[in-house]
Amino acid sequence: MAEAIINDFHNYLENLKSKNNKHSEELDMKCRDEEEIHKKISIGFNNQDWTQCKSNFEVLSNNSKEMRKIMKNQSKITEDTFSLTEKIFSLTEKILASNKNIEGRLALLENTKQILCYSDWVVILIDEIIVPKFMGDQNDWDRISTILTKSILEDTDYYVLENEEDDRLFERLVEILDQVNITLGEFEYLVRLNKMRNTEFHINNQPLCEAKKQLEMTFPEHLEHFKEPLKKALYAIEVQWKNRKRDGNRNGNRKIFKRNR
């Protein structure tokens, strides 16, 4: 579509240029004719040939009329050129505005991609801290995940707990989250983030220290609510890993292999 509009503008401009060149040539010719007519009138005056003078004045009058007609046509071409220029300016402004909008969307996408990379850390939080603390098995977490997902998809500000077992599971979830200083509302943001991810967005062996450092950056307003829950999640993971390392070193069941520096 844009190419067709540009072609229309180009063809219209070429037509205006062609008309203007034609009228310029005609006007030049009329100017030369007028010079010759003035010479003839001057000779007539000198010779006192009034009949010839009258005839030349009539020719001059007709030539002047034709010149005015040509100049009017040229004036119309000038107006059309201004109009075309305004249209081109207007189109250019729209294109620039569209490009700015695209740049804004690309920046938004880039910021979103950065936050989505943290979804793998949410998985670590769930797999290594949340799920193991339940007295039951993976089914307990699956049930909680289903309840959270339903609330997220239906965009409600509550959770539908259908029986006493659901009550027990959520009470236990709140207790576990309290231990790592994460509220249920903050945990829901982490679950939302985890469900936003896609195969393109992963930590790609990102160290925990780098993940924490990146969280200090300024987040876009639409992503700001993820920041604090992620900080708490990374802190909980850090504590969990330190405890695991400490316990492993204490009981001697874990071997540490140091690679050559």
Q: Looking up tokens 């289903």, which residue turns up?
A: 146
Percent above pLDDT 70 for the chain:
77
Report the interhelical angle of 138-154 vs 184-196 (nearest 10°): 80
Q: Looking up tokens 């896609």, which residue turns up?
A: 198
Q: Is this structure's pTM higher than 0.75?
A: no
User: Of 229, 125, 231, nearest to 184 (Cα)?
Assistant: 229
DSSP annotation of 127: I
Residue 5, CA distances (Å) to 8, 25, 52 in order: 5, 31, 57
Radius of gyration of the chain (CA): 41
Report, as ranges of residue numbers, the positions in the chain whose pLDDT lies below 50: 106, 109, 198-202, 253-261
pLDDT on residue 99: 57
**In sequence order, which residues have a C-beta less than 8 Å from that of residue 117 and are 6 or more positions away?**
201, 202, 203, 204, 206
User: Of 160, 135, 9, 29, nearest to 84 (Cα)?
Assistant: 9
Stated as kind and residue range, the H or E segment containing 183 is: none
Q: What tens digit of pLDDT does each residue of 92-101 get? A: 777 666 656 5
pLDDT on residue 258: 33
Q: Show the tokens assigned to 56.
A: 């030349």
Q: What angle (nearest 5°) sits at the alpha carbon of residue 186, between those of residues 181 and 192?
A: 140
pLDDT on residue 158: 80
Which residue type occupies 243?
N
pLDDT on residue 127: 86
pLDDT on residue 212: 79
